[in-house]
Amino acid sequence: MTARSLAYAYAVAQDAPGLRSALDGLTGVLREPVHLVRPTRGGDPVAAVSPVPAEDFDQAALAAHLEDLPWLEALARSHHGVIEAIARCTTVLPLRLATVYLDDDRVRSVLDDGQGAFLDQLSRLAEHVEWGVKLYVEAPAASQAAPSRAPDLSPGRAYLHRRRAEQESQHDAFRAAEEAAERIGAAAREHGAGRARHRVQQGELALEPGVNVMNDAYLVPLDHAEAFRADVLNSTDGLTGVRVVVTGPWAPYSFAAPGPAGETAP
């Protein structure tokens, strides 16, 4: 690399026996190899870093790139890939996308300065996983709503009849979603899961069919993770018009920031 490079920091993590080998051969943003930076006095925590070209990551370039969705997607997926790789073998604190330093020494000084706080956060998240839980209300099946009556009704009446049937089924679906959400809340309490809310997904990037009515993340103790996920998947049993989607396990992104981000269940 002849061009000047900067240090892109992905995450702060608890060092672990498997971490070095997990990073061996791992590439991050722009396929650059990822390495660990340690505090000056050694020990924990460590930071995962890779070099990035200054021409793409200085202030102006970065700001412009971040507005470019394909570029942003590539960056986000690379960032995410490194964090997942680390999460597989140790506790990880994901950093916000595009946390960039002049060099590794600057990363090291951040580790030195924040050592205590990082370690607190890491111990809080140890042995936990994050599940994403989304509830969708299915779009009403318009064709089924008013099937055989239509012929003897005038077009206007048939239309109103159909609309009313659609509205009723939609209303029922929202009631069902409420019921499912209550069951999920009960499961969270039972398994000691903390919750973080995300905005419901409704825009162009929301590809799942139906209307997203709940988009939460749960931080679940590892030994309850399987049971919690099963309970969540069962939360829509016997309910119609509502669908539950579980994603993950994720690194604890939604709970990495200290403070009241996760309402921990009693």
Partner 1 sequence: MTDPIANRLGPLPSRSAPPYGQSSASLADILERVLDKGIVIAGDIQINLLDIELLTIKLRLLIASVDKAKEMGIDWWEHDPSLSSRAGSAPSLEEENRLLREQIEENRRLREELSALRADPAALPPTEGTAENAAAPRRPARPKRAEPATRSATRRGEA
38 touching partner 1, by CB under 8 A: no
132 touches partner 1 by CB under 8 A: yes
Rule CB under 8 A: is residue 184 a binding residue for partner 1?
A: no
Q: Which stretch binds partner 1 (CB under 8 A): 36-44, 145-153, 181-189, 202-210?
A: 202-210
Nearest to 29 by CA among 99, 106, 103: 99
Q: By three-state DSSP, how is residue 37 classified?
A: strand
Identity of the residue, 62 or 187, whose beta carbon is nearer to partner 1 in the bound complex: 62
Find, among 35, 32, 28, 10, the residue nearest to 99 by Cα. 10
Give the one residue of 30, 36, 89, 265 binding partner 1; rule: CB under 8 A.
89
Does 207 contact partner 1 by CB under 8 A?
Answer: yes
Beta bridge partners of 136: 212, 243
| Binds partner 1 (CB under 8 A): choice among 29, 46, 79, 239 | 79
Cβ neighbours for 65, distance < 8 A, ≥ 6 positions apart: 56, 71, 72, 75
CA distance 100 to 110: 12
Query: Residue 35 or 162: which CB sits closer to partner 1?
Result: 162
Residue 189 CB, nearest approach to partner 1 (Å):
20
**Interaction of residue 18 with partner 1, rule CB under 8 A:** yes
165 is a contact residue toward partner 1 (CB under 8 A): no
Residues in region 41-70 near partner 1 by CB under 8 A: 57-59, 62-63, 66-67
Q: With contacts defined by CB under 8 A, how many residues of the chain interact with partner 1?
A: 80
Query: CB count, 10 Å around CB of 78?
Result: 21
Q: Out of 26, 30, 36, 257, point to the residue binding partner 1 (CB under 8 A).
A: 257
Residue 133 burial (10 A CB sphere; 0-12, 13-18, 19+)? buried
Whole-number minimum distance, CB 27 to partner 1, in Å? 13
Judged by beta carbon, residue 205 or residue 266, the one nearer partner 1 is: 205
Which position among 174, 175, 185, 265 is part of the footprint of partner 1 (CB under 8 A)?
Answer: 174
93 binds partner 1 per the rule CB under 8 A: yes
Q: For tokens 């700001």, name the residue.
A: 63
Backbone angles phi, psi at 95, to 5 degrees: -90, 155
101-120 binders of partner 1 (CB under 8 A):
101-102, 106, 110, 114
DSSP code for 239: -
Q: With CB under 8 A as the contact rule, which of the stretches 11-19, 25-33, 145-153, 185-193 interacts with partner 1?
A: 11-19
The structure tokens listed for 264 are: 């921990």
What is the rounded radius of gyration, in angstroms, for the C-alpha atoms of the chain? 24
Number of residues assigned to the chain = 266
- Minimum distance between the CB of residue 43 and partner 1, rounded to whole angstroms? 18
Please state, in angstroms and rounded to a whole number, the distance separating the CA atoms of residues 37 and 10.
Answer: 11
